[in-house]
């Protein structure tokens, strides 16, 4: 991430102990087997290790479009439309 901002400090392990249902399907939500305090801390790092090489490939090929999403929604939409050539 170019900004250097990571959200790992904000991640807290807090499993749900109530019977929670999916809002759309009504199916019960279940806890993943590997969802524990030990693995939770490494998950963002694992994500970046796995995705960064793909991002680099698309950047090198000129196929990557980066959008600043830390702004108003209409500005984000404008950036996306410009990148797609549909001003």
- The range of the structural domain enclosing residue 30 comes to 8-84
DSSP letter at 42? T
Structure tokens that stand for 72 in this block: 């108003």
Question: What share of the chain has pLDDT > 70, as a percent?
Answer: 78
Token pair belonging to 24: 């759309």
Q: Domains in the chain: how many in total?
A: 1
66 found inside a domain: yes
The pTM (predicted TM-score) of the whole model is: 0.51
- Give per-residue pLDDT as tens, 22-54: 889 988 887 777 777 777 778 888 899 999 999
How confident is the model over 73-85, as a mean pLDDT?
94
Q: Kindly report the CA angle at 10 between 31 and 34, in degrees rounded to 5?
A: 25
The token duo for 50 is: 């796995």
Q: Do 20 and 29 contact (CB within 8 A), yes or no? A: yes
3 located within any domain: no
In a domain, 26, yes or no: yes
């Amino acid at each position: 991430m170019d900004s250097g901002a990571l959200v790992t400090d904000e991640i807290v392990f807090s499993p749900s102990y109530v019977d929670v249902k999916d809002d759309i399907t009504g199916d019960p939500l279940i806890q993943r087997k590997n969802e524990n305090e030990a693995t939770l801390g490494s998950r963002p790092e694992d994500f970046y290790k796995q995705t960064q090489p793909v991002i680099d490939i698309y950047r090198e090929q000129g196929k990557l479009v980066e959008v600043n999403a830390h702004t108003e929604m209409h500005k984000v939409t404008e950036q996306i439309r410009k990148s797609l050539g549909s001003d």
